[in-house]
């Protein structure tokens, strides 16, 4: 018996993916997140020392900004980060932002590992770190001395 063929999202039908892991293609609307591409991203992180040694929150908190800094404008999308064994991404990004890191969350359309199209997948890009984190109350001068 023949397996039914998976249908792609009609909104993304016919778009060719951009390969952020290996260079930019012609269409910047869809990112290739096939198993092969994700494997290349994970191998790149591993080869350059941005691998988690254990799954503790502290290990992820210290490794994630380094991995994002290394990836630069390419950043990491949800599928790539999960394949690199980063878990609870939203929580870690909130913690990193509270610690002074500036992280952009961009929305991209991807063709996932199962060759299905997914719209609005988060791609996280490290912008930098705030250096002037003065307490907001400390900056107010109310003239009451």
Q: Which of 125, 116, 128, 49 is nearest to 80 (CA)?
A: 125
Q: Looking at residue 26, what is its pLDDT?
A: 43
Query: Exposed, middle or buried: residue 145 (CB in 10 Å: 0-12, 13-18, 19+)?
Result: exposed
Mean pLDDT of each 10-residue bin along the chain, 145 residues long: 55 52 52 88 90 78 89 90 86 88 90 84 88 56 61
Q: Looking at residue 70, what is its pLDDT?
A: 93
Q: Which residues of 86-99 are buried (b: 16+ CB within 10 A; e: fewer)?
A: beebeebbeebeee
User: Token pair of 93, please?
Assistant: 């990004």
Q: Please report, for residues 2, 17, 19, 34, 35, the alpha-carbon distance to residue 5 in angstroms, rounded to integers and kept in the order given.
A: 9, 20, 24, 17, 18
Q: Which of 89, 79, 83 is nearest to 46 (CA)?
A: 83
Q: What is the DSSP letter of 119?
A: E
Q: Looking at residue 67, what is its pLDDT?
A: 92
pTM value? 0.67
The CA distance from 70 to 84, in Å, is: 14
Q: Tokens 């992180």 belong to which residue? A: 45
Q: Looking at residue 52, what is its pLDDT?
A: 78
């Amino acid at each position: 018996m023949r397996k039914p063929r998976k249908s792609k999202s009609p909104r993304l039908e016919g778009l060719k993916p951009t390969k952020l892991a290996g260079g930019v293609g012609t269409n910047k609307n869809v990112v290739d997140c096939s198993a092969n591409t994700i494997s290349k991203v994970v191998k790149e992180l591993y080869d350059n020392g941005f691998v988690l040694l254990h799954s503790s929150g502290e290990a992820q908190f210290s490794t994630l900004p380094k991995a994002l800094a290394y990836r630069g404008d390419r950043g990491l999308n949800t599928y790539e980060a999960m394949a690199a064994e980063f878990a609870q991404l939203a929580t870690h990004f909130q913690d990193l932002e509270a610690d002074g890191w500036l992280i952009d969350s961009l929305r991209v359309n991807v063709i996932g590992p199962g060759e299905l199209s997914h719209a609005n997948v988060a791609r996280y890009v490290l912008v930098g770190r705030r250096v002037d984190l003065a307490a907001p109350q400390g900056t107010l001068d109310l003239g009451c001395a």
